[in-house]
Amino acid sequence: MGISRRFTSLLIYITPLLIISILVAVTALKRNSDIIANSQNEAAWYVLQLHKEYAEFHLQLHRYAVGTSDHNDMMLQYEILWSRFKTILNNTHISHLYHFDGAYHQISKQFTYIQSIEPQLIEFEPGDPGAAIINDVKDHYENLVIFLSHKFRLSSGDLLKRVEATHTMKLLVYFLLCAIVLLGGILLWALWRESSAMRKLAMSDTLTGIHSRLWLNQHLKELVSKQQPFRFYLIDLDGFKTINDTLGHHAGDELLKTVAARLAVLSGEHYHVARMGGDEFAVIESLAVQHEINISQKLLNSFQQPVILNGKSYPISASIGSSEYPLKASNVSEVLQQADFAMYEVKQQGKNGVIHYEGSAVPNGTAPTLKRFTKSL
């Protein structure tokens, strides 16, 4: 029982940890999925716009160099490109750009270059299509295009890592779900087993091992609810207090266990034995099936043999009262009252005997009337 309880406690601690692990894994899975989705949407759109504006600026710069465009058109396109860089670098909607190694740094580097050429653009004169600034802008543009095209392809190293990480997280989530289902099943089984053990313990008398008073009350209610006829015997040991006081509680406990063992021999298909508490026992005799056994005499015979306590032999006896459902009693309360009245009548008549209640069933809430008793010795 101790091992089972420790195991159950361990499972109770482990299960929440697994649930937290699943939540963390699902969060990571969602984050990776969002990065992949956003990388193919918002960031990709901004990067494509940057390509377009950069290409347009290079074209306007070339056209201005050959004299087919004026300086204002070229500078206007430069300002547009400048604004595009700034938008990408400062826009919070594409913050996932940071998840691509070197992307933000490369774009920042290109922006720094674009900012640095502004004085040259202001002083640049048309008529020189082979000017160094044109080739320089072309080289930077092509390098940026190659870098970003590689970074934002689904087959790129960065995105492949994210895809692989997402797949790994998926497997981890599946594993954790299986683990928590398994542990949950084990936990339920452990709790059910512990509950069954506790119920069995509650239904058994801890001292004698026979049925307890709780079991007795439930069984009586079950018999009455099913309207199954039975005879109930209430057994009270004679002189138990004297033995308990003179020989000690240990001797008293040994006496109770001996009596319980003798009565337990009667347990079977038609008879059930229970301890009501103290020195009182009970026997339920099923009357649903006819049988030819004198249970009254068998009960008395259980007390004919003396018991050995502290190395000495002591005679024992019992006062037994019985009642019958539904012939004499109409409910559990009446059964117990009538058997109790009959048992006390045995006490009054000198103990060591059985008296069957012979009155009639009375309405609920009314004390039963003792009309006649018969004593079997």
Q: How many angstroms separate the CA atoms of 32 and 326, rounded?
A: 74
Residue 236 CA, chain-centre distance (Å), reads 46
Q: How many angstroms separate the CA atoms of 271 and 264, rounded?
A: 9
For the ranges 81-95, 120-134, 145-159, 279-293, the lowest mean pLDDT is seen at 145-159
Nearest CA among 213, 354, 207, 224 for reference residue 294:
354
339: Cβ–Cβ under 8 A, 6 or more apart, which residues? 232, 233, 234, 321, 322, 323, 357
pLDDT of residue 236: 95
| Average pLDDT over every residue of 345-363 | 79
Q: How many angstroms separate the CA atoms of 233 and 340, rounded?
A: 9
pLDDT of residue 96: 53
pLDDT of residue 365: 42
Q: How many angstroms separate the CA atoms of 259 and 310, rounded?
A: 16
**Of 305 and 9, which is predicted with more confidence?**
305
| Average pLDDT over every residue of 142-156 | 69
Listing DSSP states for 7-67 in one string gives HHHHHHHHHHHHHHHHHHHHHHHHHHHHHHHHHTTHHHHHHHHHHHHHHHHHHHHHHHHHT
Q: What is the pLDDT of residues 311-322, one digit of tens each?
A: 899 999 999 999
Examine the pLDDT at 342 and tell me if it is beyond 80: yes
Q: For CA atoms 352, 356, 359, 363, give the dihedral sign.
A: positive
pLDDT of residue 366: 43
Strand partners, 164: none
| Average pLDDT over every residue of 256-282 | 88
Per DSSP, the three-state class of 341 is helix
Percent pLDDT > 70 in the chain is 67
| Average pLDDT over every residue of 174-186 | 71
pLDDT of residue 165: 66
pLDDT of residue 375: 47
Measure Cα distances from 145 to 54, 61, 131, 287 in Å.
9, 18, 22, 97
CB atoms < 10 A from the CB of 149, how many? 12
CB–CB of 38/159 below 8 Å?
Answer: no
CB–CB of 239/289 below 8 Å?
Answer: no
CB–CB of 355/346 below 8 Å?
Answer: yes
Q: Which residues of 350-368 are buried (b: 16+ CB within 10 A; e: fewer)?
A: eebbbbbbbbebbeeeeeb
**Of 326 and 38, which is predicted with more confidence?**
326
CB–CB of 194/188 below 8 Å?
Answer: no
pTM summary value: 0.52
Assign 201 a pLDDT band (cuts: 50, 70, 90). low
Query: 136-150, 202-216, 248-262, 283-297 — which one is most confidently predicted on average?
Result: 248-262
Residue 67 tokens, joined:
């004299």
Measure Cα distances from 376 to 155, 295, 345, 356 in Å.
98, 11, 13, 9
CB atoms < 10 A from the CB of 317, how many? 15
Examine the pLDDT at 340 and tell me if it is beyond 90: yes
pLDDT of residue 271: 86
Assign 154 a pLDDT band (cuts: 50, 70, 90). very low
Percent pLDDT > 90 in the chain is 24
Rg (CA), the chain: 47
Assign 369 a pLDDT band (cuts: 50, 70, 90). very low
Q: How many angstroms separate the CA atoms of 321 and 339, rounded?
A: 5
Assign 334 a pLDDT band (cuts: 50, 70, 90). very high
Q: What mean pLDDT, rounded, does the chain reach?
A: 78
Examine the pLDDT at 156 and tell me if it is beyond 80: no
| Average pLDDT over every residue of 271-298 | 83
Measure Cα distances from 251 to 246, 319, 371 in Å.
9, 20, 39
Strand partners, 29: none
Examine the pLDDT at 268 and tell me if it is beyond 60: yes
